[in-house]
Amino acid sequence: MLPLLAPSKSPSPSSPSPSSSLSPRPPPTPLLLPPPPQRRPATPVSVNQVVISKQAPKIPNFHTDKVAKESIFVQVQPRRTNPLVWCGAIVCLIFSLVLILFGIATLIVYLVVKPKTPLFDTPNASLTAIYFDTPEYFNGDFTFLANFSNPNRKIDIRFEYLDIELYFADRLISTQFLQPFTQRPKETRLEAVHLISSLVYLPQNHAVALRTQVQSNRVNYNIRGTFKVKASLGMIHFTYWLHSRCQLQMTGPPTGALVARSCRTKR
Interval 205-261: pLDDT, tens: 999 999 999 999 999 999 999 999 999 888 888 899 999 999 999 999 999 999 999
Q: Which residue has the higher pLDDT, 31 or 93?
A: 93
Task: Note whether 113 and 155 are within 8 A (CB).
Answer: yes
Question: Shortest CA distance to 250 belongs to which of 235, 240, 261?
Answer: 261
pLDDT, averaged across the chain: 80
Q: Which residue has the higher pLDDT, 143 or 34?
A: 143
Highest-scoring range by mean pLDDT, 49-53, 89-93, 112-116: 89-93
Task: Note whether 177 and 233 are within 8 A (CB).
Answer: no
* Three-class SS state of 158: strand
The average pLDDT across 109-117 equals 80
pLDDT-derived band of residue 10, with 50, 70 and 90 as boundaries?
A: very low
- Over pLDDT 90: what percentage of the chain? 55
Q: Determine the residue type at 49.
A: Q
Q: How far does Cα 182 stand from its chain's mean position?
A: 39
Question: Shortest CA distance to 116 belongs to which of 2, 229, 251, 263?
Answer: 229
Return the pLDDT at 142. 97
Contacts for 78-84 with beta carbons within 8 Å, 24 or more apart?
A: none
pLDDT-derived band of residue 119, with 50, 70 and 90 as boundaries?
A: very high
Q: Is 152 exposed, middle or buried (0-12, 13-18, 19+ CB in 10 A)?
A: buried
Output the CA–CA distances (angstroms, integers) from residue 112 to 18, 100, 106, 208, in the order listed.
145, 18, 10, 54
Instruction: Give CA–CA dist 89/162, Å, rounded.
Output: 46
219-233 vs 156-168, strand pairing mode: antiparallel
Q: Determine the residue type at 148.
A: F
Return the pLDDT at 35. 61
The average pLDDT across 76-83 equals 68
Contacts of 87 (CB under 8 A, 6+ apart): none
Task: Note whether 229 and 241 are within 8 A (CB).
Answer: yes
- Over pLDDT 70: what percentage of the chain? 70
* Three-class SS state of 127: strand
Instruction: Give CA–CA dist 31/125, Å, rounded.
Output: 139
207: left (phi over 0), alpha (psi -120 to 50) or beta: alpha
